[in-house]
């Protein structure tokens, strides 16, 4: 059985883990509206309180933390020992992309709209080697309606944002292949991971056919399994946090094989890699409010600007 180490508890729906070379892990607490550092000894310290719902995070070319903030798109409920997200509250007015200084905690809003349309629920993001980043907009869910949303590409200096992929059904996790030439996106409710070729930064090549928004299906999980955020390891396996069947599902680069790493929380939401040789996986167990670590069978991918 895989040895799982609990690094921190008492977190308010943690997500977006980012491993730093000093051994600490920076993550967001969606229900608290906060960005938190988990130190190697298990202590936690507050970095910033941007409010809303900070959801995904990544280091940018300037060493600052870039956060996909859903703007507080969930209500929160207790289901036994689990904190679970519910429908979007009536007062929700949209989300944003933020830049946060890890030392001072200063928060800047880079983008809150694109082409005159507000960002609804930004969820996850990944930087490329050119200094731009891809991010998903998960949208909002109300009593009888759910948004159609997509995937955007933006510059880190706040100068440019474009919607590149549309429409998708609740796009969540996003990642790039090790060579940067393939983009992966997980849809939550369909349990599918789609991919697109990336010929140049910020551009994709669509595939003719019935794939969502011109994407190619990498994998669709059987049964009742939902998908959250994802990471890619050094061998190109797409490692997607799996809801209901809590854990990390790793998909081979060609989609021909998969492996499942079970974790003790049905709301396992994200994973990143760190430690010696990047061979440790750090996963957020959001329902129970924990950050855990466990050995990964391959090296993780060293992300651009990390």
pLDDT digits (tens, 9 = 90+) for 181-221: 999 999 999 999 999 999 999 999 999 989 999 999 999 99
> Considering the domain boundaries, does residue 206 fall inside one?
yes
> Considering the domain boundaries, does residue 181 fall inside one?
yes
| Domain, as residue range, for 65 | 24-232
Q: Do residues 137 and 119 touch, judged by C-beta distance below 8 A? A: yes
> Considering the domain boundaries, does residue 237 fall inside one?
no
How many angstroms separate the CA atoms of 137 and 287, rounded? 22
pLDDT per position as a tens digit, 39-83:
999 999 999 999 999 999 999 999 999 999 999 999 999 999 999
> Considering the domain boundaries, does residue 85 fall inside one?
yes
> Considering the domain boundaries, does residue 306 fall inside one?
no
> Considering the domain boundaries, does residue 290 fall inside one?
no
pLDDT at 1: 52
3-class secondary structure, 291 = strand
> Considering the domain boundaries, does residue 202 fall inside one?
yes
Number of Cα atoms under 13 Å in the Cβ half of residue 258: 19
Q: What is the average pLDDT score of the chain?
A: 97
3-class secondary structure, 276 = helix
Q: What is the CATH number of the domain that holds 98?
A: 2.120.10.30
Whether the model pTM is above 0.95:
yes
How many angstroms separate the CA atoms of 66 and 154, rounded? 11
Total domains, the chain: 1
How many CB atoms neighbour CB 51 within 10 A? 14
pLDDT at 107: 98
> Considering the domain boundaries, does residue 61 fall inside one?
yes
């Amino acid at each position: 059985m895989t040895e799982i180490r609990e690094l921190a508890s008492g977190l308010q729906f943690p997500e977006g883990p980012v491993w730093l070379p000093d051994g600490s892990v920076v993550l967001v607490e969606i229900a608290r509206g906060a960005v938190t550092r988990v130190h190697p000894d298990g202590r936690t310290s507050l970095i910033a309180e941007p409010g809303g719902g900070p959801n995904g995070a990544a280091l940018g070319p300037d060493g600052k933390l870039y956060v996909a903030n859903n703007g507080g798109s969930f209500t929160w409920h207790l289901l036994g020992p689990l904190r679970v997200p519910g429908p979007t509250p009536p007062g929700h007015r949209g989300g944003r992309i933020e830049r946060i200084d890890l030392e001072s905690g200063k928060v800047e809003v880079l983008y809150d709209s694109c082409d005159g349309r507000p960002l609804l629920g930004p969820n996850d993001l990944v930087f490329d080697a050119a200094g731009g980043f891809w991010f998903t907009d998960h949208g909002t869910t109300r009593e009888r309606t759910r948004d159609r949303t997509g995937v955007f590409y933006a510059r880190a200096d706040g100068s440019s944002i474009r919607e590149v992929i549309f429409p998708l059904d609740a796009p969540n996790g996003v990642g790039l292949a090790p060579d940067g030439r393939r983009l992966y996106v997980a849809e939550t409710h369909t349990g599918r991971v789609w991919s697109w070729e990336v010929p140049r930064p910020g551009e994709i090549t669509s595939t003719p056919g019935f794939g969502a928004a011109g994407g190619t299906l990498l994998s669709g999980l059987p049964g009742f399994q939902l998908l959250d955020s994802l990471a890619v390891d050094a061998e190109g396996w797409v490692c997607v946090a799996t809801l209901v069947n809590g854990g990390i599902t790793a998909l081979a680069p060609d989609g021909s094989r998969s492996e499942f790493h079970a974790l003790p929380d049905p709301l396992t939401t994200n994973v990143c890699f760190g430690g010696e040789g990047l061979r440790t996986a750090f996963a957020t167990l959001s329902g129970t409010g924990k950050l855990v670590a466990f050995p990964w069978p391959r090296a993780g991918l060293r992300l651009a600007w990390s």
